[in-house]
Chain A
Amino acid sequence: MKYFKLYSNCFLVEGHKKHIICDVQRGEIFIIPLALSKIVDDTFKVSMEVINNIPDDLIKSKIKEVIEFLITHELGHLCDNPNSFPEINKHWESPEIINNCIICMDNNSSLDLADIYNQLTELKCKFLELRMEDIETFINCNKNLNDTFIRNIDLYIKFNEKITTFNFVKFLHENQRIGKVVIFSTPKDIANSLNYERVFFIENNITNIHCGKIHENSFSVNIDLFMESQFHNSCLNRKISIDAEGNIKNCPSMSESFGNIKDTTLAEAIEKPNFKKYWNINKDKIHVCKDCEFRYICTDCRAYTEDPEDILSKPLKCGYNPYTGEWSEWSTNPLKQKAIDFYGMREIID
């Protein structure tokens, strides 16, 4: 007797309007209408023989069509004993005390990057994002990165005239840890004329208030995020940031500070009350998101929410409505206007 079973790396995630199957091994998702997902959900309990005996030919053919689709796309298989294929354990652990860090610097900042790199190494931090006004600031300190755990650095640099003659090919070759460089506030004609691999020239200005945009392009389908999201906040879990004044925060877009890097170590800041208060807010606890089928592949935002007074409110800059299954422009949603004014972000959307 044959039974249909989804492969263990393919997870059915239920939303209010739609369900998805996440293939976390291949990094793909398949959106499935609610009615059809029930078939996937229930075939495990019902053998193909039973399905073949369904008296209604139309329903029978539709069920077999769905199963054929899933098998064709290698999302599941037929087997004699489904219990021989146990589910992947969703328990998630990480040896990193801090996984990623964002450091913001302006021309008035006096941060000791070498010391911060050393502290991040002690915390086993692997990913770094630097927001700077001048690429020279990074170059002057990059040799200190050699002895760190940092695996990837994303650079956000404000455009200046020196950028036009800067040798990015040589720079990226000598700094293999850099994943991408984003040059913002670039004049349009220059943005169109420069073309380097892993370097993106953006015309718009980028500040902390621009963060938190949620759209399909930022979805990440992989087993690490899928499992982490089951229990933890997909953005703030094991994140730390330092703003241009040296204040240690959960996120540069947030106001709450846990000390200044001049007199507080990162390790001390992490142990302060409330620093970890967002870490375990997973999407299943957040209003609206808990009914969204994308909740385990989407990275959250707690800095800008629809209701600034509610720690569990939906991210402000998400335009997806899981109750209709449709995307819309978040900034024109009448229900978000109060929060937009509260955060003073009217100028970035008009």
Chain B
Amino acid sequence: MGNQDTLNLYSILKSLPVNYYLLSYKNKTSEKNNMLRVAPFSRYKSSKSKCMRSHKPISKLL
């Protein structure tokens, strides 16, 4: 890993609104900084718990 890799990563990040996104979120909340870790990521639970033995719903009637 050399300077070129650093530059590649740096240029990607520079071209993306990483800072903008995080900071804009931060401004919307008065919570502590650790909220940042949760905010950009949200978590979904699988629908496995809904009486389903198959790996997918056979139909989508409901």
Mask for B3-41, Cβ within 8 A of A = 1, else 0?
001101110111011110110000000000000110011
CB-based contact A31/B44 at 8 Å: yes
Say yes or no: is A59 at the interface (Cβ < 8 Å to chain B). Answer: yes
User: What residue of chain B has the Cβ atom nearest to residue A70's Cβ?
Assistant: B41
User: What residue of chain B has the Cβ atom nearest to residue A202's Cβ?
Assistant: B62
Main secondary structure of the interface of A (DSSP, over half): mixed
CB-based contact B58/A154 at 8 Å: yes
Contact of B6 among A53, A218, A228 (CB under 8 A): A53
Mask for A193-229, Cβ within 8 A of B = 1, else 0?
0000010101000100011111011111110110010
Assembly CA distance A198 to B51 (angstroms): 7
Contact partners of A156 in chain B: CB under 8 A: 61
Closest 7 CB pairs of A and B: A27-B46, A224-B55, A152-B53, A180-B51, A221-B46, A35-B16, A35-B18
Say yes or no: is A126 at the interface (Cβ < 8 Å to chain B). Answer: yes
CB-based contact B56/A212 at 8 Å: no
Say yes or no: is A129 at the interface (Cβ < 8 Å to chain B). Answer: yes
Assembly CA distance A155 to B42 (angstroms): 34
Q: Which A residues have a C-beta under 8 Å from some C-beta of B?
A: 1, 27-36, 38-39, 42, 45-47, 49-51, 53-54, 56, 58-59, 62-63, 65, 68-69, 72-73, 100, 102, 126-129, 151-152, 154, 156, 179-180, 182, 198, 200, 202, 206, 210-214, 216-222, 224-225, 228, 234-235, 239, 299, 301, 317
Q: Which B residues have a C-beta under 8 Å from some C-beta of A?
A: 1, 5-6, 8-10, 12-14, 16-19, 21-22, 36-37, 40-48, 50-62
CB-based contact B60/A218 at 8 Å: yes
CB-based contact B55/A59 at 8 Å: no
CB-based contact B19/A58 at 8 Å: yes
Using known A-B contacts A46-B9, A129-B58, determine if residue A38 contacts B16 with beta carbons closer than 8 Å. yes
CB-based contact B1/A28 at 8 Å: no
CB-based contact B37/A35 at 8 Å: no
Contact partners of A234 in chain B: CB under 8 A: 56
Nearest-Cβ distance from residue B24 to partner chain A, whole angstroms: 11
CB-based contact A29/B43 at 8 Å: yes
CB-based contact B16/A206 at 8 Å: no
Assembly CA distance A73 to B57 (angstroms): 27
Point out which of A65, A200, A234 has the most chain B C-beta atoms below 10 A from its C-beta. A65
Using known A-B contacts A59-B19, A65-B36, determine if residue A301 contacts B60 with beta carbons closer than 8 Å. yes
Contact partners of A200 in chain B: CB under 8 A: 62
Contact partners of B51 in chain A: CB under 8 A: 179-180, 198
CB-based contact B41/A62 at 8 Å: no
Contact of A28 among B44, B55, B57 (CB under 8 A): B44
Contact of A299 among B9, B53, B56 (CB under 8 A): B56
User: What residue of chain A has the Cβ atom nearest to residue B51's Cβ?
Assistant: A180
Nearest-Cβ distance from residue B16 to partner chain A, whole angstroms: 4
Nearest-Cβ distance from residue B39 to partner chain A, whole angstroms: 9
Assembly CA distance A34 to B8 (angstroms): 17
Contact partners of A69 in chain B: CB under 8 A: 37, 41
CB-based contact A217/B54 at 8 Å: no
Assembly CA distance A224 to B46 (angstroms): 13
Contact partners of A27 in chain B: CB under 8 A: 45-46, 48
Nearest-Cβ distance from residue A280 to partner chain B, whole angstroms: 17
Assembly CA distance A200 to B5 (angstroms): 56
CB-based contact A62/B18 at 8 Å: yes
